[in-house]
Amino acid sequence: MQDNNKTPLNVKRLTEFRRDLHRHPELKFNEFRTSEKIAEFLTALDIPFKRGLATTGIVASIYGHGHSADNPGPALGIRADIDALPMEEANNLDYASQHKGCMHACGHDGHTAMLLGAAELLSADRRFEGTVHLIFQPGEEGGAGARVMMDEGLFRLFPCQAVFALHNWPALPQGHMGTKVGPIMASGITFEIIIRGKGGHAALPHSTIDPVPVACAIVTQLQSLVSRRMDPLDAAVLTIGKIEAGTSPNIIPSEVKIYGTCRTLTDESQSLFLEGVKRLSHHTAKAHCAQAEVIIKPGGYPNTSNHSKEARFMASIMRDTVGEQRANSDVRPAMTAEDFGFMLQNVPGAYGWIGNGNDADSGGDLHSTTYDFNDKNLEIGAFFWEKLARQWFLTEAQR
Chain residues that interact with Zn ion, rule: CB under 5 A: 106
Annotation-wise, does 167 bind a ligand? yes
Least CB distance to Zn ion at residue 107 (A): 6
Which CB sits closer to Zn ion, 294 or 366? 366
Residue nearest to Zn ion (CB): 106
Least CB distance to Zn ion at residue 111 (A): 8
Question: Using alpha carbons only, what angle is made at residue 142 by residues 136 and 148, rounded to the nearest 5 degrees?
Answer: 50
Least CB distance to Zn ion at residue 101 (A): 16
Annotation-wise, does 99 bind a ligand? no
Which CB sits closer to Zn ion, 58 or 258? 58
Q: Which residues are CB-neighbours of 395 under 8 A, at least 6 positions away? A: 313
Q: Which of 356, 352, 372 is nearest to 185 (CA)?
A: 352
Q: Which DSSP helix (H) or strand (E) runs through 304?
A: strand 304-306
Which CB sits closer to Zn ion, 62 or 106? 106
What angle, 0 to 180 degrees and rounded to 10, lies between the N-to-C axes of helices 108-124 and 376-391? 50
Residue pair 76/162 in contact (Cβ under 8 Å)? The answer is yes
Q: Which of 213, 205, 275, 204 is nearest to 243 (CA)?
A: 213
Beta partners for residue 63, in sequence order: 131
Least CB distance to Zn ion at residue 338 (A): 7
Least CB distance to Zn ion at residue 366 (A): 6
Annotation-wise, does 310 bind a ligand? no
Which CB sits closer to Zn ion, 59 or 106? 106
Type of residue at 209: I
Annotation-wise, does 141 bind a ligand? yes
Alpha-carbon Rg for the chain in angstroms: 24
Least CB distance to Zn ion at residue 140 (A): 6
Which CB sits closer to Zn ion, 72 or 110? 110
Least CB distance to Zn ion at residue 65 (A): 35
Q: In what order do the strands lie in the sheet with 177-178?
A: 49-53, 57-63, 131-137, 75-81, 162-169, 349-355, 177-178, 327-328
Residue pair 4/379 in contact (Cβ under 8 Å)? The answer is yes
Which CB sits closer to Zn ion, 187 or 281? 187
Which CB sits closer to Zn ion, 83 or 210? 83
Q: Which residues are CB-neighbours of 31 under 8 A, at least 6 positions away? A: 56, 82, 83, 138
Annotation-wise, does 65 bind a ligand? no
Annotated binding residues for Mn(2+), written as ranges, equal: 106, 108, 141, 167, 367
Annotated binding residues, written as ranges, equal: 106, 108, 141, 167, 367
